[in-house]
Structure 1
Amino acid sequence: MNKKNNLALETIFTVTAIGLILFTLIFGRYVGDTAEMVLFGLSFLFGGFYKAKEGVIKTIENKALNVEFLMIVAALGAFILKNYAEGAILIFIFALSGLLEDYATSKSEKAFTSLLNLAPEEALLEKDGKEVVVKVSDLNIGDVVIVKVGSSIPADGEVVFGNTSINESMITGEFVPVDKKVGDNVFSGTLNESALIKVRVTKDMKDSMVQKIIDFVETAHENKTESQSFIEQFERWYVYVVIALSILTMVVPPIFGWWTQDVAIYRGIVVLVVGSPCALVASVSPAVLSSLSNASRKGILIKGGKHLETLSKIDAVLLDKTGTITEGRPEVKEIYCALDEHETVCKVIYALERQSTHPLAKAVVDYLKDTDDIHIESKETPGKGIEGQYQGHLYQVGRFDVQVDDVLRDKVDSAHKAGFTTILVSKDGVLIGYISLMDRIRPRVKEAIESLKAHNIRPILMTGDNRYTAGSIAKEAGIAYVLSELLPEDKLKHVESLKKSGKNVMMVGDGINDAPALAAADVGVAMGSGTDVSLETADIVFMNNNIENIEKSIQLAKRMKQIANQNIIFSVTVISLLLLSNVFGIVLLPLGVIFHEGSTILVILNSLRLLLK
């Protein structure tokens, strides 16, 4: 039975329990004592079924007693003392609090399980000029599928025919359709809204974006905060403390003549109720799940509560330039070659860059798309560039150590000072030219940076680009601290240095060249444009590439931490006051049930506020 049906049945059982309780309280005196006991007993069975089942399963799995066990024993004790109404109400309120917690869990998973439903089960395969309906699971890499208007894209792939608009909101959280043309990538589960297109499948379903997101989320639910882990360990031992305290309350006072046996047993049962850590156990988990759900609706995937907790402490944010501060779609403005071999050099550049994984390579390939293709065996060095042999000469494109004459050096420097990003082109260890590119800053970057500074979080720009381009971009973005001309290992060193100085560091990059720094940071954040590597490397992924998500995620984490702390303090205070009141006989079982289980419901409702905004 799936979780949705399980939650629906749990709701029906809980509603049935309160219905029986209300009916018995109103009409019980008319039906007789035996019928009243049976009706309350039925309410007990309906209300307690799921919690008892959960308690048994958890006891077997963990080989330890738990909160569910305490509540069932307390309710049974109330029935033994013929306090049928109190026992039934106790179980109902306990079931209601559990239902609310399950609702929080369900909300946190809803955005992701919907991805499974959106991805179609069948695809329209183009085969030998005909349209053939096949199962999506039978598609192979290289197959071409036809996607009509209003249909979901069946697999990750590349558009090979047609132009259209794709609704990617189920992945990115952005509801504005994205224009797609030949050569653009599309994701399974997204919706074709404008025109018929043909898509060549580029990934197996197990490697698709949807599946990676689902794997990401499963990891998130297993990755608990320190507070959650501590409370779970605390619950395991605290349950035995409550049981021991209950037994002592039943046994010791009658021995010394302080209370009668009946009073002692009654107050011992009250101890089981009011001493149970229900509210404490529910203090953190619903808050974390609600925060994860809230973030997912904004296109922010967070790999677990542990990273949310760390986010709340961030005081320094390192930002990569290309694809993070800028849009990551640079345009080539010029390819300069000092030799009289411009056409040959362009062919070599095109052949090499087609094989490169660097974000700038695509811009170069697009610029040279009409160039004749030649075959060159290449070797790519992260942080340096790509190189290969052609007609007996070694060509290198990137940032290799080569000889540079003064004239060409001046031209490169001039391009840098003008704010261009440059890729150097060399032949046999001598610089022969360069490629000038310009990238645009993302919308709302300056506002996002100002917001970080307003919250005493220091933004720092880190880039492998030259200091002039880096300085120009930083000035436009409003960033005062700039680290330029860095290799991947240099970025890693700066992250480690900041951490050693006592800073809690967030690193934001594209998830490709920034992988070492992302892994070393307290929280690694990748822009969604990094796709596959982002989802595997980062702790958080901004699927919609919105830079303002940095501040949003940090503030959400701080709200989560604040609400979790409120819940913990409130629940501990209520338990302490109720236990103390029970010693003096102030709290009767009905009041104990209402205050204790009511506090649990209040704690969960307080956590559910994180679903808003």
Structure 2
Amino acid sequence: NIGKTVQTPVVILYAVSFLLGGFFKAKEGIEETIENKSLNVEILMILAALSAFVIGSPLEAALLIMIFAVSGLLETFAHNKSQKELTSLLNLSPEQATLYEDGKETIVFVNQLKVGDQVIVKVGDAIPVDGKIIRGQTAINQAAITGESMPVNKVEDDEVFAGTYNLNSAIIVEVTTSPDQFVVSKIVALVKDAQDNQGRQQTRVEKIEKWYVYIVILIALGFMLIPATLGYWTWTESFYRGTIVLVVGSPCALMASIAPTMLSTLSNAARKRVLIKGGKYLENLSQIKVVVFDKTGTITEGKPVVVDIQVDKSLERQAILDIVFSVEKQSNHALANAITIHLEKESTYHPYQVEEIPGFGMTTKIGKDTYKIGKFEHTSSATISSLMTASQGKGNSIVQIIKNDELIGFISLIDKLRPNVKQVVVQLKNEGIIPILITGDNLATAQAIAKSAAIDHVIADALPHEKSKYIKDLQAKYGKVMMVGDGINDAPALAIADIGVAMGSASDISLETSDIVFMNNRLENIHHLLRISKSNQQIIYQNVIFSIGVILTLLTLNFIGQVNLPLGVVAHEGSTILVILNSLRMLRKK
């Protein structure tokens, strides 16, 4: 009660608890005030507690600091939980490696290695570098990088990644990439950025905080001075009511409405092996109207196999296959890799000078003849063209063999759909979202694949730079667009889409330009993402409305003298704790 005396030893105990509970928050508030050159909610709480102490309410001052500290602990819990889940997305690569030189083994730090060094990796050890196997063969667990649950057999010249595990036998790996460019290092950097990337709502609230704190202080000063000056209240009552304004007017609950919710949602997604690179992407996710799927490696498994090769019968088949093998061996495209694997036992390699034209394929000049392998303008062949059209109708991907601009053959490849693609597409339709397939394949192949996946809308023959244009057109027509892809040719479209999603097996540039990464390569993540993003927004709205409602109610009751300091402390700080607890529900959202 106002004016009630409190014994000195008790006051001292309250003062000690005040200092112990408020020291770190006060330190944090002062440091941020100096750095940002503006007051913040921590400073407001310290002023409120000091004011309560000065007017003879040390219990309320200590209680205020205690509950404020508890709410801070809950926010820290949400942050740490999110950090734990995000970093568990991958098994971090070891800091040390066993350098292998002239038969000698030396333990060194990974960051001391350089391109060309050789390291030995024994059974059960994590591979410490990105490189290629130069001796031995084994099975590798690549789940941390590609999301593949089954071990992958690796032989000499095969690529391996840091952070994966050697399961069967010792291998020697030659370092092909500097440590800072390892795939796992790039993913770790993405994880670190994810928590710092705030949503627009959080940024707006923080901007409001700067001005709101000054407004609360002015209102409190008004309560302390104006009523007493006009004779409406006594000076004691005025200072008491002004102190209550400092307590109940503080935006603690409002400031805690968004960040814990976002962090809890990021943590929820991370448990499903989905990396969301920041809170602002959750806001866009809840408004998605269209989902655009790339074909190869996205709705398909990205492991095409050759099912047929046709060559004009007037030409020497083996000579043409040797040319195709020699040209495609110099490309990293998934289709080129499948072709070289199919032909390597029956073809001879010749080191031809080749040129790769993005979106079209490979070209080479042999003598007076120009060969093009891929998808180029050409003169049709009566027999070959009809066979090619029939193969396209079956959903096969086609790689054309062209000599001097005349079609002389083609290679048919098939890539299996990922499991549950059709189910994912149907779920999108049920939620009113339009699924679209975009691919560089011809229309006949694209339509056959789309039909198998229950996709009604198809964009075919799309070159990499055209995919970006199609995304912009869809944004203008429908609104927010999500693009899901995995290759270098998808990177521009991933960057321009409102939400760019890369599969975990994507190229480095796709991982960097995307907003979300499916570490487990599962398209079923889309439905979960859309569901938790909507729940995330709902909880944020609940928190904001509740926190503002509590502040306005307590300020109004204080104005008419119907709220005392203990009630103000418990109601206001209790609302902050309730808001954070409501936010933490996102940790368990299914």
TM above 0.5: yes
Distance 1:507 1:553, change over 3 A: same
Aligned match of 2:384: 408
The Cα shift of 1:378 comes to 1.9
The letter of the residue matching 2:121 is V
Aligned match of 2:18: 44
Q: 2:192 aligns with which of 189, 213, 218?
A: 218
Work out whether residues 348 and 390 of structure 1, in 8 Å CA contact, stay in contact via their aligned partners in 2: no
Aligned match of 1:16: none
After superposition, give the CA deviation of every residue in 1:533-592 in whole Å (9 maximum; x if it has no partner). Answer: 122111111121111111221212111111111111111111111111111222211111
Q: Does 1:355 align with 2:330?
A: yes
Aligned match of 2:278: 304
Q: Does 1:162 align with 2:112?
A: no
Taking the aligned partners of 2:272 and 2:88, their CA distance within structure 1 comes to: 15
The letter of the residue matching 2:543 is N
The letter of the residue matching 2:12 is V
Distance 1:150 1:115, change over 3 A: farther
Same amino acid, percent of matched pairs = 49
Distance 1:555 1:242, change over 3 A: same
Q: Does 1:521 align with 2:497?
A: yes
Q: Does 1:181 align with 2:154?
A: yes
Q: 1:292 aligns with which of 260, 263, 266?
A: 266
Work out whether residues 92 and 184 of structure 2, in 8 Å CA contact, stay in contact via their aligned partners in 1: no
Aligned match of 2:486: 510
Q: Secondary structure at the match of 1:315?
A: strand
Q: When the two structures are aligned, how many residues end up with a matched partner?
A: 581
Q: 2:394 aligns with which of 397, 402, 418?
A: 418
Give the ranges of 4+ consecutive aligned residues of structure 1 lying more than 6 Å apart after TM superposition.
none
Distance 1:46 1:400, change over 3 A: same
Q: 2:506 aligns with which of 530, 537, 558?
A: 530
Work out whether residues 311 and 408 of structure 2, in 8 Å CA contact, stay in contact via their aligned partners in 1: yes
Question: RMSD value over aligned CA atoms?
Answer: 2.1
After superposition, give the CA deviation of every residue in 1:324-343 in whole Å (9 maximum; x if it has no partner). Answer: 11001000122222153322
Q: Does 1:483 align with 2:459?
A: yes
The letter of the residue matching 2:16 is L
Q: 2:348 aligns with which of 355, 363, 372?
A: 372
Distance 1:537 1:156, change over 3 A: same
After superposition, give the CA deviation of every residue in 1:275-316 in whole Å (9 maximum; x if it has no partner). Answer: 000110111111111112222222212221111111110011
The letter of the residue matching 1:273 is V
Task: Kindly report which structure 2 residues correspond to 1:316-465, keeping only aligned pairs within 5 A, or say none.
Answer: 316-338=290-312, 339-370=314-345, 371-465=347-441
The Cα shift of 1:323 comes to 0.7
Q: Does 1:565 align with 2:533?
A: no
The Cα shift of 1:365 comes to 2.0
Distance 1:173 1:323, change over 3 A: closer
Taking the aligned partners of 1:84 and 1:195, their CA distance within structure 2 comes to: 69
The letter of the residue matching 1:546 is R
Q: Does 1:608 align with 2:584?
A: yes
The Cα shift of 1:356 comes to 2.0
Taking the aligned partners of 1:193 and 1:457, their CA distance within structure 2 comes to: 43
Aligned match of 1:587: 563
Using the size of structure 2 for normalisation, the TM-score is: 0.94
Q: Does 1:248 align with 2:222?
A: yes
The Cα shift of 1:272 comes to 0.6
Distance 1:54 1:180, change over 3 A: farther
Aligned match of 2:121: 147
The Cα shift of 1:193 comes to 4.1
The Cα shift of 1:172 comes to 6.0
Distance 1:79 1:447, change over 3 A: same
Distance 1:483 1:190, change over 3 A: same
Work out whether residues 158 and 202 of structure 1, in 8 Å CA contact, stay in contact via their aligned partners in 2: yes
The Cα shift of 1:238 comes to 0.4
Aligned match of 1:550: 526
The Cα shift of 1:454 comes to 1.5
The Cα shift of 1:42 comes to 1.8
The letter of the residue matching 1:178 is P
Work out whether residues 162 and 198 of structure 1, in 8 Å CA contact, stay in contact via their aligned partners in 2: no
The Cα shift of 1:130 comes to 3.4
Q: Does 1:91 align with 2:28?
A: no
Q: What are the ranges of 5 or more consecutive residues in structure 1 without an aligned counterpart?
A: 1-28
Taking the aligned partners of 2:142 and 2:478, their CA distance within structure 1 comes to: 43
Q: What are the ranges of 5 or more consecutive residues in structure 2 without an aligned counterpart?
A: none
The letter of the residue matching 2:330 is Q
Aligned match of 1:25: none
Q: Secondary structure at the match of 2:506?
A: helix
Stretch deviating more after TM superposition (250-259 or 112-121): 112-121
Taking the aligned partners of 2:487 and 2:79, their CA distance within structure 1 comes to: 29
Taking the aligned partners of 1:611 and 1:369, their CA distance within structure 2 comes to: 50
Work out whether residues 122 and 133 of structure 1, in 8 Å CA contact, stay in contact via their aligned partners in 2: yes
The letter of the residue matching 2:342 is Y
Distance 1:504 1:342, change over 3 A: same
Taking the aligned partners of 1:366 and 1:46, their CA distance within structure 2 comes to: 68
After superposition, give the CA deviation of every residue in 1:415-440 in whole Å (9 maximum; x if it has no partner). Answer: 11222111001122221111110100
Q: Secondary structure at the match of 1:188?
A: coil
Taking the aligned partners of 2:438 and 2:114, their CA distance within structure 1 comes to: 40
After superposition, give the CA deviation of every residue in 1:256-280 in whole Å (9 maximum; x if it has no partner). Answer: 2211111111111110110000110
The letter of the residue matching 1:230 is R
After superposition, give the CA deviation of every residue in 1:76-99 in whole Å (9 maximum; x if it has no partner). Answer: 111112211211111111111112
Stretch deviating more after TM superposition (561-570 or 505-514): 505-514
Using the size of structure 1 for normalisation, the TM-score is: 0.90
Work out whether residues 173 and 296 of structure 1, in 8 Å CA contact, stay in contact via their aligned partners in 2: no
The letter of the residue matching 1:486 is A
Distance 1:53 1:384, change over 3 A: same
Work out whether residues 142 and 152 of structure 2, in 8 Å CA contact, stay in contact via their aligned partners in 1: no
Taking the aligned partners of 1:598 and 1:194, their CA distance within structure 2 comes to: 57
Work out whether residues 140 and 164 of structure 2, in 8 Å CA contact, stay in contact via their aligned partners in 1: no
After superposition, give the CA deviation of every residue in 1:211-245 in whole Å (9 maximum; x if it has no partner). Answer: 21222233333432221111011110000000000
Taking the aligned partners of 1:42 and 1:33, their CA distance within structure 2 comes to: 15
Distance 1:50 1:352, change over 3 A: farther
Q: Secondary structure at the match of 2:260?
A: helix
Aligned match of 2:238: 264
Aligned match of 2:75: 101
Work out whether residues 310 and 384 of structure 2, in 8 Å CA contact, stay in contact via their aligned partners in 1: no
Q: Does 1:578 align with 2:577?
A: no
Q: Secondary structure at the match of 2:505?
A: helix
Distance 1:129 1:523, change over 3 A: same
Distance 1:191 1:49, change over 3 A: farther
Q: Secondary structure at the match of 1:376?
A: coil
Stretch deviating more after TM superposition (364-373 or 455-464): 364-373
Work out whether residues 118 and 152 of structure 1, in 8 Å CA contact, stay in contact via their aligned partners in 2: no
Work out whether residues 89 and 273 of structure 2, in 8 Å CA contact, stay in contact via their aligned partners in 1: no
The letter of the residue matching 1:143 is D
Stretch deviating more after TM superposition (43-52 or 143-152): 143-152
The Cα shift of 1:167 comes to 5.7
Q: 2:170 aligns with which of 188, 196, 219?
A: 196
